[in-house]
Amino acid sequence: MIALGEIRRSFRGRIELNEPLAKYTTFRIGGPADIYLEPLDKEDALSLIRFLREQKIPFFPMGNGSNILISDSGITGAVVNLEAGFNYARIAADGVITAGAGIKLAKFVDFCIQHGKAGAEMLAGIPGTLGGAVIMNAGAYGGEIADHMLTVDLIRGDRLLTITKEQGGFAYRTSKLEGDLILEASFLFPEGDSAAMKVTRRETMLKRNSSQPVQWPNAGSIFKNPPGHYAARLIQDAGLKGTRIGQAEISELHANFIINLGGATAEDVHALAMLARAAVREKFGIEMELEVKLVGFE
């Protein structure tokens, strides 16, 4: 049992007990967390993580919940979300942009464009926070969040560290930072033409809206693209478009998306993803790796 009074002594931010998590995810799926916490600044976050570690309470950093499938039974321990305290971006005289892990990517991209900094505009439609984007090395249309990154501030163990991009081990939809709590990142983008960047942003959004089932709750691509292949094409060619389990469906528009038709459970989505993986393995001998993170599953 987590003692609220004790947490309050080491923490100033918002606390919710037994908090249902579905509303915080783009899938609109997931059971409760024992405790949900929103630290207000770096000091608050550090003191909280030290407390959780001392008490041996496991914690899960959650951003915008746009790349996760939370189990129907929820998460044992704590969920830590940074959107309240780390929702900022600033630019220094030397052009370095520093942004908090809780800022939405869309807002971060707007900030870059507004300051004539090029190289983030193609990420505009990714519905995550900067923290989630850093962990996942989120990317689209030829760009990735790590491309122009300088450093990342994070909590590892019970210490606050600044690491360089090279130390982050960024590769296709992955980094070596899992298990850390990302607090902030800095970037140096080349100068660009804001008007041209706005055009790219608009075109990117139009492409997304016509090729992705954005009107249904989903978590983006379920699988990473296997080397030399597109996961969507493999699932489509396995004949699975439109396949349903419960209220979850493999999208007719984009076969690497699973959509929640209303009331889908995490079990429905998980079973459908495993069905797609097995069908692609059987038909093409290709093993697909999940891009979506499973949270709270056995």
Active-site annotation, residues: 173, 221, 291
CB of 283 to ligand FAD, least distance (A): 26
Say how far residue 12 (Cα) sits from the centre of its chain. 25
Phi, psi of 228 (to 5 degrees): 80, 5
* From 100, 119, 129, 251, residue interacting with ligand FAD (rule: CB under 6 A): 129
Which one of 21, 30, 33, 67 is in contact with ligand FAD (CB under 6 A)? 67
Give the Å distances, CA to CA, from 7 to 1, 40, 55, 61, 122: 12, 14, 10, 17, 41
Contact between 138 and ligand FAD by CB under 6 A: the answer reads yes
Q: Helix, strand, coil proportions of the chain in percent (round to 5)?
A: 30, 25, 45
Best CA proximity match to 85, nearest among 107, 66, 100, 64: 100
Number of residues that bind ligand FAD (CB under 6 A): 34
Question: Which span (41-49, 108-116, 128-136, 237-245) binds ligand FAD, by CB under 6 A?
Answer: 128-136
Among residues 12, 53, 224, 293, which is the contact residue for ligand FAD, using CB under 6 A? 293
What single-letter DSSP state applies at residue 165?
H
What's the CA gap between 180 and 177, in Å, rounded? 6
Confirm or reject binding of residue 119 to ligand FAD (CB under 6 A).
no
Q: Which residue matches tokens 């249904």?
A: 216
Residue type, 200: T
Question: Binding of ligand FAD at residue 71 (CB under 6 A)?
Answer: no
Cα angle 195, 145, 212 (rounded to 5 degrees) comes to: 75
Tell me the angle at which helices 194-211 and 105-114 cross, rounded to the nearest 10 degrees: 150
CA distance 292 to 219: 7
| CA–CA distance, 89 with 179 (Å, rounded to integer) | 24
Q: 276 burial class (0-12, 13-18, 19+ CB within 10 angstroms)?
A: buried
For ligand FAD, the closer CB: 16 or 193: 16
Pick one of 35, 69, 82, 109: the residue that binds ligand FAD (CB under 6 A).
Answer: 82
User: Going residue by residue from 21 to 40, which x/- string records binding to ligand FAD, judged by CB under 6 A?
Assistant: -----x--------------
Q: Min. distance of Cβ 102 from ligand FAD in angstroms?
A: 7
In the set 32, 39, 63, 296, which binds ligand FAD (CB under 6 A)?
Answer: 63
Minimum CB distance to ligand FAD, residue 240 (Å): 19
Question: Smallest distance from the beta carbon of 48 to ligand FAD, in angstroms?
Answer: 13
Q: Which residues between 208 and 247 bind ligand FAD (CB under 6 A)?
A: 212, 214, 218-220
Task: Rule CB under 6 A: say whether 64 interacts with ligand FAD.
Answer: yes
65 binds ligand FAD (CB under 6 A): yes
Query: Minimum Å distance from CB 35 to ligand FAD?
Result: 16
| Closer Cβ to ligand FAD, 26 or 162, answer by number | 26
Which residues 247-286 are close enough to bind ligand FAD by CB under 6 A? Answer: none
Widest CA span of the chain, in angstroms? 57
In 10 A of CB 146, how many CB atoms? Answer: 20
Tell me which residues touch ligand FAD (CB under 6 A).
26, 60-68, 82, 101, 126-129, 131-133, 135-136, 138-140, 173, 180-182, 212, 214, 218-220, 293
